[in-house]
């Protein structure tokens, strides 16, 4: 009874801490502008199944894709064991599912052990790539410090989880032969029987009991630690990849969105049909997260920090300062800063006033946004369908249209558009020859 109370208390505390952080994240996403969800629901579900659940884009790089798949499958299957641990902790049972699903139970545990070995191999490979080989995309400025430690913490935590699974299973197999009335027969688990069961053979029963409980609790507490830690980590993508891929625009990938107010004015000047009742926001583009779409902020929290976007960015590859990954990370950091410091006031349901005197331009330099070639390579590379290009365009639009900014070499283009309605500084009569021929 006392054990169940302690168990439930630990779950309640972990849930409270993690839910408090998730509420802050939801609040941060709600800072963004409203944006309609376009496209058919069937296309959105297809996106989610293919890219979030099916990991489709991970396999554009087959080696890392397959290793990631091992960890992903192990994570999914071990949730069944996690559910069993929760039921056991609340009811005082040992291996609750063992008597419920019969012969399927040892098949399930053996599958988990096989996947755990594959996940262990993958984890060691990922640690090697980050800390020994030091792949370039894991050594860039935006990934140093906490982001680098974050990845290693999760990988080391996974190793602890895997070791605890095998130690717990080895001790349990020994105990079920010694005291079958307390420890129901769950079958034989081949890998732990070979590797960890021999550690308990010939030992005192109390030693096996202590070890089984110790690694059972260790496994559960590490899982709870992950639950609390995830909303502070890039591994939040485990959950957010699903809504992010669902809300990602399935149509016109790579298309640049027009500014409705300006588009309507142009259509009116050309004598074309205009859209009535287009409300003006009072600004063009975005200088801060509250002027971006809520989807942009959701994408920022969904970022895996894998760096695939930056590794294919032509600007970055040619030595420019731009890193699409950093842009997305900066949006997330700025959103968290506003929520953490309460640096804004909501003056209306859909209107926010920033009060901390800062903006996204304190995180993202103009050199970065103007280095972008709008090639869409970063968008195509992202495994969870994040669009780093859209916020870059919004920041450029704000700087040009609201601040009269922009690189000096762009000024002739702007002047030509204003005076000649073309970017080539040619007069309006440039097509007159077609009428005289």
pLDDT digits (tens, 9 = 90+) for 179-225: 888 888 888 999 999 999 999 987 777 899 999 999 999 999 999 99
Q: Is-contact 369 359, C-beta < 8 A?
A: no
Mean pLDDT confidence for 65-72: 96
Paired tokens of 161: 């989880």
Place of tokens 């070499």: 409
CB within 8 A of 245, min separation 6: which ones?
Answer: 47, 48, 51, 52, 384, 385
Yes or no: is domain 282-420 CATH 3.30.160? no
Q: Is-contact 117 191, C-beta < 8 A?
A: yes
pLDDT for residue 18 is more than 90? yes
**Cα–Cα dist 320/331, whole Å:** 20
Parallel, antiparallel, or unpaired for β 344-348 and 351-354? antiparallel
Question: Taking Cα atoms as reference points, which of 285, 392, 277 lies closest to residue 328?
Answer: 392
Of 193-197, 258-262, 433-437, which has the strongest mean pLDDT? 193-197
Q: Where are the domains of the chain?
A: 2-30+61-245, 282-420
Per-residue confidence band for 90, with pLDDT thresholds at 50, 70 and 90: very high
pLDDT digits (tens, 9 = 90+) for 114-148: 999 999 999 999 999 999 999 999 999 999 999 99
Place of tokens 């142009």: 266
Q: What is the DSSP letter of 210?
A: H
For residue 159, the cross-strand partners are none
pLDDT for residue 259 is more than 80? yes
Q: What is the DSSP letter of 97?
A: T
Place of tokens 């409300």: 279
Mean pLDDT confidence for 48-73: 94
**Cα–Cα dist 359/336, whole Å:** 13
pLDDT digits (tens, 9 = 90+) for 373-432: 999 999 999 999 999 999 999 999 999 999 988 898 888 888 887 787 777 777 666 666
Percent of the chain with pLDDT over 90: 73
Q: Is-contact 354 293, C-beta < 8 A?
A: no
Give the CA angle between residues 234, 238, 239 to the nearest 5°: 110
Question: Taking Cα atoms as reference points, which of 286, 273, 308 lies closest to residue 380?
Answer: 308
Global confidence as pTM: 0.91
């Amino acid at each position: 009874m006392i054990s169940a109370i302690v168990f439930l208390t630990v779950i309640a505390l972990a849930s409270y801490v993690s839910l408090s952080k998730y509420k802050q994240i939801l609040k941060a996403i709600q800072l963004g502008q409203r944006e309609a969800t376009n496209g058919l629901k069937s296309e959105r579900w297809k996106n989610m199944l293919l890219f979030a659940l099916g990991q489709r884009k991970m396999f554009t790089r087959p080696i890392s894709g397959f290793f990631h798949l091992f960890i992903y499958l192990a994570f999914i299957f071990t949730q069944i064991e996690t559910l069993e641990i929760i039921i056991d902790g609340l009811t005082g049972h040992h291996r609750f599912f063992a008597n419920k699903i019969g012969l399927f139970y040892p098949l399930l545990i053996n599958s988990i052990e096989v996947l755990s070995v594959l996940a262990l191999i993958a984890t060691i490979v990922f640690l090697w790539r980050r800390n020994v080989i030091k792949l370039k995309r894991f050594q860039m400025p935006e990934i140093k410090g906490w982001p680098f430690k974050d990845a290693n913490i999760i990988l080391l935590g996974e190793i602890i989880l895997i070791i605890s699974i095998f130690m717990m299973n080895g001790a349990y197999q020994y105990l079920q032969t010694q005291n079958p009335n307390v420890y129901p027969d769950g079958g034989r688990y081949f890998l732990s029987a070979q590797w960890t069961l021999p550690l308990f053979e010939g030992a005192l029963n109390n030693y096996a009991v202590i070890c089984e409980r110790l690694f059972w609790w260790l496994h559960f507490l590490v899982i709870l630690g992950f639950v609390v830690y995830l909303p502070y980590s890039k591994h939040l993508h485990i959950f957010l990849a699903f809504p992010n891929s669902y809300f990602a625009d399935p149509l016109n990938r790579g298309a640049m969105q027009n500014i409705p107010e300006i588009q309507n004015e142009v259509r009116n000047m050309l004598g074309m049909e205009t859209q009535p009742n287009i409300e003006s926001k009072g600004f063009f583009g975005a200088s801060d997260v509250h002027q971006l779409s809520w989807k942009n902020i959701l994408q920022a929290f969904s970022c895996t920090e894998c760096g695939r976007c930056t590794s294919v960015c032509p600007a970055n590859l040619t030595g420019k300062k731009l890193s699409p990954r950093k842009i997305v990370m900066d949006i997330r950091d700025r959103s968290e800063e506003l929520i953490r410091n309460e640096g804004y006031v909501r003056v209306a349901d859909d209107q926010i006033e920033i009060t901390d005197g800062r903006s996204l331009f304190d995180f993202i330099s103009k050199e970065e946004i103007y280095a972008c070639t709008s090639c869409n390579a970063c968008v195509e590379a992202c495994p969870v369908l994040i669009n780093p290009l859209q916020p870059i365009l919004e920041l450029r639009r704000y700087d040009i249209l609201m601040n009269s900014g922009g690189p000096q070499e762009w000024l002739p283009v702007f002047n030509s558009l204003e005076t000649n309605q073309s970017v080539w500084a040619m007069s309006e009569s440039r097509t007159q020859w077609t009428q005289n021929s």
